[in-house]
């Protein structure tokens, strides 16, 4: 009997799958062993994730609906049905969110930290707040009257403020707004009390509208469509059109209005009318302050460090703890597992190259580098010392455009050759090449990775770094950078694999070959997302052939498990913990080269519409180390969730008599043990010991 692998019931909607991922993030706040600020951190992450989801994904669905698009994916759900499902899911989740927030708030109170509205404060604290208001808030905020001569103002994306109903001395009813600018702290801290700024502004609203009595006020927050639509082919100056796009981000259609649960009905109608938004896109929070992401202010408060788990200190392992990065690379290929292993050797790789008189050239792709980048500063130093520096700065890295624009201009001003991207494609590859003149010949050194060149996120994202001097990879790297800076009809590499032309075909061949081994076949794929229908169909075929398939997909997964005759041999796990699981690692039991690391997720945008790299890990010890990492994660029974046939995720718990396995905690422990090795240890020695330690764990 033939099976229709295009049947919509075989696919999970990507937006619904993402919502379930964000629910798993929220679920982290329920773990018993967490301190209160650890819990609050997950509420903040949940909120910032949701902001981006609305700005991009929901906004996109609304645009598709207005354009009359009927189907958007293999699951065949229409944009309207997806929007309805999203609203239903999120409206239902508010109660769970608020219960978690109240629990965290109570825990903080038990530790002497209070989150209170102005009206809940004791008289002495209110006096301090009053002084703070007139000294620090009153001079900054602006009252806005709304009437025939004062039109409703434009509100930028993620604007936050208060809508007010006021009464004049002669009994006239007026409406007004008070925008709370982002330069003000979301919470005003007085002693150990955090007071939401809107409750202070609300109390003193009459001071801003003298002669008027405040009848009612409600805090509100708006979310706009923030996706940039840039016609690259029509742009003579890409920088100029990107800057215009960034300015237009605050002009997109409003897609969400957030309000307090006790919002006055007339004020709600007033806001909905002027913002042109429907009631079904209004979200009411009874207990939780608007803008969950602002909880980072409390989480990051240094006075409260005792209420959060101490941060793990990444280790620099032998031989990189004592030797020059380049000397170590010449002895053997090196692999780092961040954030357990320090990102500092990557920073040193560029810094040492910029300082070395033998360095002729440095080439890099920068996707997300952060606001204060030591790597970019080293590149600028390299240019000033006469070295050739070529950098592709991907200006279309979503929500990092302004940072990248700043660095691109500084690099270009210093004299670097800067490429701003490739028309029609995002460049998402993670690669740096250093070329030196040594012993009368040119020598190439490569860094290839699954993550970005950002030392800050490298402390909280798990990623793989790979250093090599392999001449085959170096030849490909040179070809790759020539492709980025010039014209090339042949967009293929010889030893690495590049999308959009090579990664998907290679993965499909690897899956098909492993499937040919039937029940003896085994595939492990670790990625952030699995959406690509062609890859999913190949995995279904492999499962039908009897091949065992373990997928570790942190976020979106559109593949269904447990479908009789189709996916009974497939498991899907998602690990959510203190670190963001970010590596893309692909492993095939019977392949001559078993392990591959990649910058690309298993999504159409990565495989078909981006320039990405996938790197074969030929060294057997390094390949085995990757397998041990994957195996350890598959045995996690603390922070791992398993996808079920009904499309929901079940938290995996230790069975009776089974040892507790927290994979992220285990990696911290074994890297700590590895760091105690003698300085003479080689990379291969470390890989062997890592394997032994993981097995013991």
For 683, the 3-state DSSP assignment is helix
Is residue 230 within 8 A of residue 245, CB to CB? The reply is yes
Structure token pair of residue 315: 């280790």
Exposed (0-12), middle (13-18) or buried (19+): which is 33, by Cβ within 10 Å?
exposed
Residues 6 or more apart in contact with residue 64 via CB below 8 angstroms:
72, 79
Cis ω on the peptide bond leading into residue 113 (within 30° of 0)?
A: no
For 570, the 3-state DSSP assignment is strand
Residues 6 or more apart in contact with residue 234 via CB below 8 angstroms:
none
* Catalytic entry in 203, 428, 582, 639: 428
Distance CA 639, CA 637 (A): 6
Distance CA 375, CA 357 (A): 18
Distance CA 22, CA 236 (A): 40
For 588, the 3-state DSSP assignment is strand
For 178, the 3-state DSSP assignment is strand
Q: End-to-end CA distance of the chain, in Å?
A: 45
The closest of 477, 430, 363 to 599, measured between CA atoms, is: 430
Distance CA 460, CA 464 (A): 13
For 253, the 3-state DSSP assignment is coil
The closest of 324, 330, 319, 373 to 349, measured between CA atoms, is: 324
Q: Which region, left, alpha or beta, applies to residue 344 given φ > 0 means left and ψ of -120 to 50 means alpha? A: alpha
Give yes or no: 428 in active site: yes
Structure token pair of residue 589: 């039991």
596: β partners: 586, 616
What is the residue whose two structure tokens read 């996808």?
A: 643
Length of the chain, please?
697
Helix 401-414 vs helix 374-384: angle between axes, to the nearest 10 degrees? 20
Q: Which region, left, alpha or beta, applies to residue 657 given φ > 0 means left and ψ of -120 to 50 means alpha? A: left
Distance CA 97, CA 42 (A): 11
Is residue 155 within 8 A of residue 275, CB to CB? The reply is yes
Structure token pair of residue 143: 């009252």
Catalytic site residues?
Answer: 428
């Amino acid at each position: 009997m033939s099976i229709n692998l295009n049947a919509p019931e075989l696919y999970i909607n990507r937006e619904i799958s993402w919502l379930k991922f964000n629910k798993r993030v929220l679920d982290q706040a329920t773990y018993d062993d967490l301190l209160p600020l650890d819990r609050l951190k997950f509420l903040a992450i949940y909120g910032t994730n949701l902001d981006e989801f609305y700005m991009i994904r929901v906004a996109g669905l609304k645009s598709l609906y207005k354009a009359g698009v009927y189907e958007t994916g293999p699951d065949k759900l229409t944009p309207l049905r997806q929007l309805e499902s999203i609203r239903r899911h999120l409206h239902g989740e508010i109660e769970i969110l608020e219960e978690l927030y109240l629990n965290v708030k109570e825990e903080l109170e038990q530790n002497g930290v209070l989150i209170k509205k102005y009206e809940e404060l004791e008289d002495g604290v209110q006096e301090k707040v009053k002084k703070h208001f007139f000294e620090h808030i009153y001079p900054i905020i602006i009252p806005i009257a709304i009437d025939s001569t004062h039109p409703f103002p434009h509100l930028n994306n993620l604007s936050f403020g208060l809508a007010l109903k006021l009464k004049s001395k002669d009994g006239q009813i007026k409406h007004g707004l008070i925008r709370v600018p982002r330069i003000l702290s979301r919470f005003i801290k007085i002693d150990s009390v955090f007071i939401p700024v809107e409750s202070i502004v609300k109390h003193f609203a009459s001071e801003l509208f003298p002669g008027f009595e405040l009848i009612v006020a409600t805090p509100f927050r708006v979310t706009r469509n923030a996706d940039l639509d840039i016609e690259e082919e029509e742009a003579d100056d890409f920088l100029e059109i990107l800057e215009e796009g960034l300015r237009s981000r605050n002009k997109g259609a409003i897609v969400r209005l957030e309000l307090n649960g006790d919002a006055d009905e007339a004020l709600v109608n007033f806001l909905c009318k002027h913002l042109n938004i429907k009631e079904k896109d209004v979200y009411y929070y009874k207990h939780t302050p608007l803008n969950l992401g602002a909880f980072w202010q409390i989480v990051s408060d240094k006075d409260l460090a005792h209420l959060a788990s101490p941060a793990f200190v990444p280790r620099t392992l032998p031989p990189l703890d004592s030797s020059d990065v380049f000397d170590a690379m010449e002895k053997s290929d090196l692999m780092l597992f961040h954030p357990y292993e320090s990102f500092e050797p990557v920073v040193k790789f560029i810094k040492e190259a910029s300082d070395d008189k033998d360095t002729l050239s440095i080439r890099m792709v920068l996707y997300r580098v952060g606001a204060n980048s030591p790597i970019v500063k080293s590149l600028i130093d390299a240019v000033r010392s006469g070295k050739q520096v070529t950098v592709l700065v991907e200006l279309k890295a979503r929500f990092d455009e302004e940072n990248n624009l700043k660095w691109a201009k500084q690099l270009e001003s210093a004299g670097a050759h800067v490429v701003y991207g490739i028309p029609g494609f995002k460049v998402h590859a993670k690669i740096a090449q250093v070329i030196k003149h040594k012993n009368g010949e040119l020598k190439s050194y490569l860094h290839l990775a699954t993550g970005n060149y950002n030392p800050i996120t490298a402390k909280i994202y798990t990623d793989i770094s790979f250093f090599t001097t392999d001449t085959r990879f170096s030849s490909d790297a040179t070809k790759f950078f020539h492709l980025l800076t010039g014209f090339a009809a042949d967009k293929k590499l010889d030893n690495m694999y590049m999308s959009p032309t090579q990664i998907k075909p290679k993965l499909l061949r690897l899956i098909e070959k492993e499937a040919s081994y039937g029940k003896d076949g085994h595939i492990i794929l670790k990625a952030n997302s699995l959406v690509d229908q062609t890859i999913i169909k190949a995995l279904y075929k492999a499962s039908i052939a009897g091949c065992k398939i373990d997928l570790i997909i942190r976020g979106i997964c559109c593949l269904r498990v447990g479908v009789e005759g189709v996916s009974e041999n497939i498991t899907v796990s998602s690990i959510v913990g203190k670190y963001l699981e970010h590596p893309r690692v692909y492993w095939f039991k019977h392949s001559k080269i078993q392990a591959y690391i990649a910058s690309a997720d298993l999504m159409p945008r990565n495989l078909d519409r981006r320039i990405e790299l996938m790197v074969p890990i030929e060294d057997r010890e390094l390949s085995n180390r990757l397998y041990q990492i994957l195996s350890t994660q598959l045995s996690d029974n603390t922070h791992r969730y398993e996808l079920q046939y009904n499309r929901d995720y079940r938290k995996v718990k230790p069975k009776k008599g089974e040892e507790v396995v927290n994979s992220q905690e285990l990696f911290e422990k074994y890297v700590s043990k590895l760091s105690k090795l003698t300085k003479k240890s080689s990379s291969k020695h470390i890989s062997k010991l890592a394997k032994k330690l993981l097995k013991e764990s």
